[in-house]
Structure 1
Amino acid sequence: MRFSANLGFLWKDRPLPDAIRAAKAAGFTAVECHWPYDVPAAQVLAALEETGLPMLGLNTSRGDVEGGENGLSALPGREEDARAAIDEALSYASAIGAANIHVMAGFAQGEEAERTFLANLDYACRSAIAHGITILIEPLNHYDAPGYFLSTTEQALRLIETLGAPNLKLMFDCYHVQLMEGDVSNRLKKHLAHIGHIQFASVPDRGAPDHGELFYPYLFATIEKLGYDAPLGAEYKPTGSTDESLGWMTR
C-alpha cells in the first residue's frame, strides 16, 4: 500500500514546504493539504519538485471561518463567493500540479441548497476539466460538522449521477463514513467506480489508524484486492508529534 500525508493535520507545526519534506523523509509517497493559500505556490512547488512527491489535492476556501462557515458552494445567494473560491483553488492547484480539488459545500439544507451546490459543481467541473483536475465532494459526519449539506455517500452518489460530469468523484473518508453509515468495506466495493480519493483515521477519535473500531489492516487489504492502487490519505490527528504517531506504517 502507498500512503499520502494529509498536511492539514500532519506536521502542522511546520511551514507547508517543510512538512512536505518531512513526509518524504517519513516514507510517504504523496501529500495532500487543506487550505495552502497563505503559502506562495512557488514555495510549495519547489518542495514538491525537490522531494518528487505529488500533491493529490486541496480544498476550496471555507469562507468566513470566524463567522462559522465551512464551505460556500451549497449556500444560496453566495454563488459569487463560491465561484471565486473555486477559481482560487483551480489557480493554486494548477500552479503546483495538484490532481484534485475538494469543493466544500458548507452549512445548508434543503432543495435550494442542493440546486445551488449542483450549479456550483457544474461550474467547477467545467472549469477544471481543461486542467485535467478532478473535482471531489466529501460527506462529513454530523458530529464534527452538524448541519453540513453533504453527510452520506448515498447523497453524494446521487449528486454525482445527477450532474454526470466525468471529472466529479467521491472523496471516501473511512472515518466519516463509519460514523454516519458504517459497513465501510461493502460501501468501498459498491462505490469504487465513483471514488476519486480515499482517506482514513481511527474512529471515533480521528487518531492514527492503529486503534479504534475500524480494523485498518483488513480495510487496506480489501482496498488492495479491489484494485485501487492510488495512495491512501492519512488524514488523522496525532495525539503527540507526527513522527511518533507513524508506527502504524511499519506495522
Structure 2
Amino acid sequence: MRFSANLGFLWADRPLTDAVRAAATAGFDAVECHWPYDTPAQDVAAVLRETGLPMLGLNTRRGNVAAGENGLSALPGREDEARAAIDEAIAYAIAIGTRNVHVMAGFVQGEHAQDTFLANLGHACRQARPEGITILIEPLNDYDAPGYFLQTTTQAEALIDQLGAPNLRLMFDCYHVQLMEGNLTRRLTRLLPKIGHIQFASVPDRGAPDRGEVNFAHVFAHIAELGWTAPLGAEYRPQGPTETTLDWLATLR
C-alpha cells in the first residue's frame, strides 16, 4: 500500500516546498494539497523534481474565505468566478504535473444549484481533458461543512452519470463517507469504477488512522484486494507535530 501526504493538513505550519521535503523524508510516496496558489508553480515543480514525489491533486479556490465560502461552482450567478477558479487550477496543475483537480461546489442547495454545478463541471472537464487531467468532486459531511452542496456518494454518482464526461470522477474520502453513509468497503467495491482518488482520516475526530471507529487495516486491505494501486491520501489533522503522528505509516503500509 502506498500513501500520499495531504499538505493542507500535514506540515501545514511550513511553506509548501518545505512540506514536500518533509513528506519525502517521512517516507510518503506522493503528496497532494489544497490551495497552493500563494507558492509560485515553478517553485513547486522544482521541489517535486528534487524529491521525486508526484503531486496527486489540488483544489479550486474557495472564494471569499473571510465570508465563509467553501467553493464556487454550484453557486448560481457566480459562474464567471467559478470558471476563472477552474481555469486557474487547471493551469497550475499543468505547470506542476498534477493529474487531478478537485472542483469545489460551495454552500448552496436546490435544483438551480445542481444545474449550475453541472454546467461548471462540464466546462472543467472540457478544459482538462486535452491535458490528461481528471476532474474530481468530493462529498463533504454535514457536520464539518453544514450546507455544502455535495454531501453523499449517491449524489456524486448521479452527477457523474448525468454529465457523462470520461474525466469526471469521485474523490472518495473515507472520513466524510463514514460520517454520512458508512458501509465503507461495500461502497468502495460498488463505486470503484467511478473513483479517481481515495482519502482517509480517523472517525470521528479526523485524526491519524490508527484510532477511532474505523479499522483502516481492514479497509486498506480491501482496497488492495480491489486492485487499487494509486497512493491513498492521508488527509488528517495531526494533534501535535506531524512527525509525532506517523507511526501508522509503517504499521498500515
TM-score category, normalised to shorter length? over 0.9
Structure 2: 5+ residue stretches without partners = none
1:31-63 CA distance string (max 9 Å, x none): 000000000001100000000100000000000
1:46 aligns with 46
- SS at 1:182 equivalent: coil
Displacement of 1:230 in angstroms is 0.3
1:101 aligns with 101
Alpha-carbon distance in 2 for matches of 1:241, 1:68: 27
Code of the residue aligned with 1:101 in structure 2: it is V
Code of the residue aligned with 1:191 in structure 2: it is L
1:130 aligns with 130
1:112 aligns with 112
**CA-atom RMSD, angstroms?**
0.4
Confirm or deny that 1:243 pairs with 2:234: no
Number of positions where the alignment pairs a residue of Structure 1 with one of Structure 2? 251
* Counterpart mapping for 1:215-226 below 5 A: 215-226=215-226
1:12 aligns with 12
1:170 aligns with 170
1:21 aligns with 21
1:33 aligns with 33
Displacement of 1:250 in angstroms is 1.2
Percent sequence identity is 71
1:129-158 CA distance string (max 9 Å, x none): 011100000000000000000000000000
* Counterpart mapping for 1:152-171 below 5 A: 152-171=152-171
Alpha-carbon distance in 2 for matches of 1:72, 1:250: 38
Alpha-carbon distance in 2 for matches of 1:68, 1:17: 27
1:75-119 CA distance string (max 9 Å, x none): 000000000000110110000001100000000101000000000
Alpha-carbon distance in 2 for matches of 1:68, 1:52: 36
Alpha-carbon distance in 2 for matches of 1:9, 1:130: 31
- SS at 2:233 equivalent: strand
Alpha-carbon distance in 1 for matches of 2:38, 2:244: 27
Code of the residue aligned with 1:105 in structure 2: it is A
Q: TM-score, normalised by structure 1?
A: 1.00
2:144 aligns with 144
Deviating beyond 4 angstroms after TM superposition, the runs of 4 or more aligned structure 1 residues are none
Q: TM-score, normalised by structure 2?
A: 0.99
